[in-house]
Every structure is written in structure tokens, then in C-alpha cells.
With several copies, the nearest count.
Chain A
Amino acid sequence: MSENLQISAQEKMVIYAARQLKPFDNKQALIGIGLPVLASQVAKYLWCGGLKSIIENGSFDAIIAEIPFSLFGGRISYGCSAQLDNGFALSGAKRGRVEIGFLGAAQVDKYGNINTTQIGPIDNPKFRIAGSGGAVDIGCYCAHTFIVCAQSKRTFVNQVDYVTTPGWVAPDNTKAGRAWVPRETLRLTGGPAAIITNLGIMKFDEKTKEAYLDEYYPGVTIEQILDNTGFDLDVSRAREADGITGEELTVLRTKVDPLNIYKTR
């Protein structure tokens, strides 16, 4: 049925991101603003009502009765289990109870390193973006970090200009030389699980730790994905993703974001 539906690129990102949460009912997830909030709410409606959303402002087990534009206003705290402080929330991944993180990216590379800080050479940056927020604290230790961003050669780069949040191979700044080393060497736990874009889903090879194309959405070609990727992408394992169902779309459009405040459609 899904082929007949008009589905926007943003809606695809939300719903395919939501599907990643299927195996994680009753688990705890650190959820960022924007598409991650929508994705987690879709997942809760459809598959994992026991998923616990934790927000970096210290809202634990947030219910999110109305989709917020801000992580720090009344819509986040309302109805949550306890409103504590940022540190208790963000340290969840390091402590171990929080297994899932959802992050955005201005740049992402083949190892899943994320840059949201600045563009340009590391020793001569051209302009600033926004900074880490809580991304680094989440991405350093979450068992499964999901990266959600639109795919283009500008965002999918061979090596990010600045590592805000470390991926599978990251710079060791604790020693001179900024050597790139496997994240285990840095004693970071977990790591990037997938990059969910408007075109498909990239995962990371167990051995090489490099991104490969896992799924491309119906109507998207592998060529289209390669044209929007700035690094060598292994597409040998790629398969077409299951189409978005009417149920998924209905939940997003009528339950999660009925007013379309995020203009996903």
C-alpha cells in the first residue's frame, strides 16, 4: 500500500528512524529535539510503549504530550517521572542504563564521527556552527547511537572538519599528535549504530568500522545515494527497505504531530 502514499523526505527520516527503536522496548533513550522526538514518539505508539525517553534537561521518562520546539520548556517536563538536572540525564550512557542516543549532524564521516561545531580545517576554521550541546556526552558512551540527518556531499564527508562527537575511529587529543585511534582504545563504549537519512540507512561494518549502505528507501536508487555521499560507501550489502506503511504514516500525521509543526509534510 505504501507506494501510493505521498511521503516527504522528512517523514521518511522520522519513520525509518523510529523503526530502529523496535528492538528496544523498555530500554532508555536520550532523545534530542526535532526529528528524534518525532521518531521516538512514533516508535512508542507503534512498537515499544515501554521505551523511556530521557531528555538532556533532566526530564526522565518524558511523555511528551505535545511535540515541543524546545527541549527546555513546559512541553518536555509535563508529565515526566522526575525533573532532575542535566548531569543525571546525560551521564546515563556512561552509567550504562541509557543504551540509545539520537543525534543530529552537520557533518558525518565514514566512521560516524559527528561535527556540529565548526567548518573548515582544524587549524584554520572558517565558521562556527552551534557546538556540542549534550551530543558528546551521549555519543561517547551510548551502546547504540543513531544519527539522523539529510544526506548530501556537504554533510557526508570523508573526514569531519572537527570531531564534536566521536565515532568508531576518533582523534586522541589526550596525547600530542591527534592520532586517529579506535574508540575502544580511548575506552569509549558503544558507538554509532546507524545513520538514518532522507535516502537510506547506513550501518557500520563490524570489522572495518566503516559505514556501508544497509537499506535504500523505495523509489531511491543506489546511484542517488552515492551521488550524495562524500566518502567511499560499500553498497554491496544494500537492499531495498520495506515501504512505509499507512499505519506508520497515520500515527505520525494524526497522533504524533497532527498540526505538522515540524513541517515534515
Chain B
Amino acid sequence: MEANKMVSLKDAVSVIQDGDIVFFGGIVDGRRPVAAMRELARQQKKNLITLSFLSVEDFLVGAGCIKGIRGCYTHLGIFGKVPCLHRALAKNELVVDEFGHIDCQLQLMAPALGLPYVASPYCIGSDIINPNYDFSEKLRALAREPERIGAQKYIFTENPFSPEHETVVLVPALRPNVAIIHAGKIGHEGTVRIEGTQGLDIYAAFAADRVIVTAEEIVPESYLRRDPNRNNIPTTQVDMIVHVPWGAHPTALPGYYDMDMEALFIYQKAARTEEDFAKWSDEWIYSLSDNNAYLEKIGAAKMMQLKAVEPYGFKPRTSVEQLG
């Protein structure tokens, strides 16, 4: 019989251990599993290493949870710097191991397809591959299972198939311990359907040891299975299902809601000082015991203001007559 994968957010996040490599789904300000990130803060996980992009999860740097990142971008999009990250860097309390964007995908695609590493032509001519900026050892020192991270970030070799023997850069596979992905719809057995940007989520779902999916709606499997070509992650890769409406807020969830620019501005301003960040954390994380409390905090009126309109998948700023 079918195993029941539905769990509470608290129980789902509790499987994450200190020193785990955690993949967060979505990109920068779109479809991020922010509710799960808040729960990580509440559970005070330590020495986490995250991947690819660091934006809204900046508060997990401030909360002392994230200590390392291998990725290509640490910024809050148009909202500017990620203040906790910069404070942590200044105190030497965070490792940022720079990577190219395609390489971020390749390091997950490799384990997703069972490959040990990938030969990449990207980042040549850049300081991203400058060996002085290889912080693999620092990441390994943080990791609970250091062997998941290659002893070197990049290894240079020659293309043995080419008569010109051009230099290629080898990118090692990196298997996250856990992937946390937020989606619009998930079937009750775990079929995931993503709207809009899919990011690296599918590769991460195949690469990670455990996959947690938080979702706006849990729908009948049969409904999603009417069009398997439209689904992005199969039941066989999903271990835990958590029902978390507005679980990507304040980032955007195409088809559901726009990003909450006001909330992101408030965060970015508050996080600039330790004092204000502590207040913000109390107000938006620690004083809110569960997702219902968070929903009340956002407020129904704000939710209606952000709600996406069909067929756009976003909330038009102008009238729909004008947009066409």
C-alpha cells in the first residue's frame, strides 16, 4: 500500500541535521521555500551549507544557521544587498565559495544522473576558477558528511577527444542531504507540478537524499496524472509533503501570488543592523508559532492585493484591458 508522506512542517524540517547540505528550490525572489526556511531558524539548525543562490535566506545567515554557500549569486535582486551575509563575511563567520551559474546546475545534474563529475567549458577566463578562491576545504570542515563535497572545487584537465587538447574544467557532483522545494500543486502521493521558473529544482530533487516539498495545494494524484508531461517531479523522488499556503511569501509564486515588495524592502532595511534584524526576526519568525500565525501576520488584505490573476500568473499593475 501507498505510504503516507504528509507531515507537519516542523516534523519535515526536523530531519535536517547540523552540517547538512541543503538545497532550497526556486531562484532569488521566485518560488523560494521561505516558510521552511523560517522553521529552520526556529529549530536553530547549525552549520548548514546551501547552494546556488542566497537571497531571502539571508535571515538564516543572521540566525546562525547557514555557514557556507557554494553558489553564483548572493544578493536580494532589485532590493539590494543581503545584509546578514555581508555582516557575517566581515566577521569571517561565513564561507562563500563562488561558482558559475551553469556549473551550479551541473553539480546537481551530475548526481541526478549518477555521474561523478562534469566537464565544463564555463568560467574559463574568470576568477571564479582562481584556485586561491577554492574554499572546498572550508566547506568540508562545516559539513556533517564532508565527502559529499569534492576535495577541490574545480580540477583543470585537457579534452582528450580534441586534437587541440583544450583546457576543460571538471565540476564535481554534489549530493545535497536534503532538498526543500515549494510548489503550487502536489498530488497526495507526491507528484509535483511547478508553474513558471523551474530553476534547478528537478535536478536537486533527483540528486538529494531526501526531498521535502511544501505546497500551496494538495490535490488528488489523479488530477495531476491526467497530464504527466506537465508534471516536474515524480512521486518516487518525494519523501515528505507539507501543506503550507503562501509558503513562498514574500517571494513570488507564479500562478498564485506576486512577490511582496514591501515585505522585502522592510527586511532589507531591517537586516542592516543587528538590533533591527533581531526585532525583525522576533516579529516575523520567532513570535509566530506556525504558518497560520504567519498568514494572519501577512493579513488577508495584503494577500488579496498580491494574488495572481488568470491567465497571467501575476497580478497586473495596469488594467487587464491595457495589458491585453
Q: Within the complex, are A and B direct neighbours (CB within 8 Å)?
A: yes
Complex interface: chain A residues within 8 A of B187 (CB): 81
Contacts of A249 in B (CB 8 A): none
Nearest B residue to A73 via CB reads B252
CB-defined contacts of A57 to chain B, threshold 8 Å: 27, 30, 197, 199
Cα distance, A76 to B26, chains bound together (Å): 14
B28 to chain A, nearest CB (A): 6
Task: Kindly report which residue of chain B lies nearest to residue A65, judged by CB atoms.
Answer: B323
Expressed in whole angstroms, the minimum distance between the Cβ of A1 and any Cβ of chain B is 27
Asked if A60 and B236 make an inter-chain contact with CB atoms under 8 angstroms apart, the answer reads yes
- Provide the bound-state CA to CA distance between A95 and B109, in Å: 12
Q: Does B102 contact A (CB under 8 A)?
A: yes
A56 at interface by CB-CB < 8 Å = yes
B174 to chain A minimum Cβ distance, whole angstroms, is 14
Q: Which of A181-189, A194-202, A227-235, A236-244 forms contacts with chain B? A: A181-189
Q: CA–CA, A34 to B191, complex, Å? A: 27
Contact of A131 among B98, B102, B198 (CB under 8 A): B98
**Set A65, A69, A94: member contacting B259, Cβ < 8 A:** A69
In the complex, the answer to whether A70 meets B316 with C-beta atoms within 8 Å is: no
Q: B317 touches which one: A28, A54, A130, A259 (CB < 8 A)?
A: A259
Pick the interface stretch among B42-50, B126-134, B276-284. B126-134
Of A78, A81, A83, A84, most B-chain CB atoms within 10 Å = A81
Expressed in whole angstroms, the minimum distance between the Cβ of A129 and any Cβ of chain B is: 8
- Near B by CB (< 8 A), chain A positions 108-142 give 117, 122-123, 127-137, 140-141
Q: Please give the distance in Å from A141's CB to the nearest CB on chain B.
A: 7
| Size band of the interface chain B makes with A | 35 or more
Q: Do A133 and B318 have beta carbons less than 8 Å apart?
A: no
Stretch from B58-66, B74-82, B286-294 at the A interface: B74-82
CB < 8 Å neighbour of A187 from B109, B166, B235:
B166
* CB-CB contacts below 8 Å: B202-258 with A: 202-203, 206-207, 221-222, 224-225, 228-229, 231-237, 252, 254-255, 258
Residues of A within 8 A of B74 (CB): 128, 130-131
Which of chain A's residues has its CB closest to B191's CB?
A81
Complex contacts, B259 vs chain A, CB 8 Å: 69-70, 73
A193 part of interface (Cβ distance < 8 Å): no
Least CB distance from B173 to A in Å reads 11
Contact A76 B197 (CB under 8 A): yes
Q: Determine whether the beta carbon of A77 is less than 8 Å from that of B229.
A: yes
Cα distance, A25 to B63, chains bound together (Å): 42
**B163 interface residue per 8 A CB criterion:** no
- Stretch binding the partner chain, chosen from A14-22, A165-173, A203-211, A212-220: A165-173
Name A94's contact: one of B98, B122, B196 (CB within 8 Å).
B122
User: A77, B237: Cβ atoms under 8 Å?
Assistant: no
Contacts of B104 in A (CB 8 A): 86
Q: A72-B29, A128-B74, A140-B122 are in contact. Are A78 and B312 (CB under 8 A)?
A: yes
Residues of B contacting A130 in the complex (Cβ-Cβ under 8 angstroms): 73-75, 81
Q: Which residue of B lies closest to A75 (CB)?
A: B314
A57-B197, A123-B132 in contact; A90/B312 too (CB < 8 A)? no
Residue of B nearest to A92 (CB): B236
Minimum Cβ distance to chain A for residue B320 (Å): 11
Is residue A74 within 8 Å, beta carbon to beta carbon, of the partner chain? yes
The answer to whether A87 touches B191, judged by C-beta atoms less than 8 angstroms apart, is: no
Taking A73-B254, A74-B254, A84-B198 as known contacts, 9 extra A-B pairs with beta carbons closer than 8 A to each other, sorted by chain A number, are A61-B235, A69-B78, A73-B29, A81-B187, A81-B189, A98-B236, A134-B72, A140-B122, A166-B124
Q: List 30 A-B contacts (CB under 8 A).
A: A65-B323, A66-B318, A69-B77, A71-B197, A75-B312, A75-B314, A77-B195, A82-B231, A85-B200, A86-B199, A87-B102, A91-B206, A92-B236, A94-B122, A117-B98, A128-B96, A130-B74, A131-B71, A131-B98, A133-B72, A137-B100, A137-B102, A165-B126, A171-B127, A173-B124, A173-B126, A173-B129, A178-B130, A186-B125, A261-B317
